[in-house]
Amino acid sequence: MDKPRHIPAASVFSHAKHGSYLRHYLMRRLRNAQDARDLAQEVWTRLLRVENPERVLEPIAYVRRAAANVLIEFRMRQAREPVTFDSETAESMAENPLHSTPDDMADRLGAQDQLQRLLSRLPRIQRQILLMRLCDGLTYAQIGKQLELTAGTAERYFFHAMNTVRAEKRN
């Protein structure tokens, strides 16, 4: 009697077979390419940890369920970590209303609103890194340590966020 051979998880959950499906699934729900790539990486990591992949009868359904679970966790983290922006300009104008005209105040508040819109369009990780670098003055190594990333990855995300903000401002 032949012993069933072990089928590695990579052969059951193949990036070639399921990668396109997973990308489309995540993009339809996130509408953000960077978040979709990050979450896809998490899905593949989880799929590699499946102990008995040969028992999975419907790999595409398994991939979809894993992606749905990752999405749920991602949205829960987003809900717990809303973006807040404390504008020193608004505080200054509130403290010294005689030194600013209504037009100045409207311009500054409009700029603050534009900045908040730009930040909200960034993927969560890029937004965090951008704020940690610019507002808190942290180094890439410090940011990486806090977010469990390498300094190089933190730097790459920072520059990607800066390029996105610059491109948005030009439009």
Q: What is the pLDDT of residues 29-86, one digit of tens each?
A: 888 888 888 899 999 888 888 888 888 888 888 999 999 999 888 888 776 765 555 4
Q: What is the pLDDT of residues 121-130, one digit of tens each?
A: 888 899 899 8
Residue 94, CB-side half-sphere exposure with 13 Å CA sphere: 7
Give residue 137's region: left, alpha or beta (phi > 0; psi -120 to 50). left
Give every CB contact of residue 126 below 8 A, 6+ residues apart in sequence: 34, 157, 158, 160, 161, 164
Which CATH number applies to 88-170?
Answer: 1.10.10.10
Mapped onto helix, strand or coil, the DSSP state of residue 84 is coil
Q: Structural domain boundaries of the chain?
A: 9-80, 88-170
* pLDDT, position 4: 46
Name the burial class of residue 119, with classes exposed (0-12), middle (13-18) and buried (19+) by CB atoms within 10 angstroms of its CB: middle
Taking a C-beta distance cutoff of 8 angstroms, is the pair 156, 123 a contact?
no
Pick 97 or 169 by higher pLDDT: 169
| Of 143, 84, 91, 140, residue with least CA distance to 115 | 84
pTM for the whole thing? Answer: 0.45
pLDDT class for 111, splitting at 50, 70, 90?
A: low
* pLDDT, position 88: 59
Query: What string of DSSP letters covers 98-111?
Result: GGS-HHHHHHHHHH
* pLDDT, position 142: 93
CA distance 147 to 144: 5
* pLDDT, position 104: 56
For all residues of the chain together, what is the average pLDDT?
A: 78
Q: Count, in order, helices (H) and strands (E) of the chain.
A: 9, 0
CA distance 111 to 104: 11
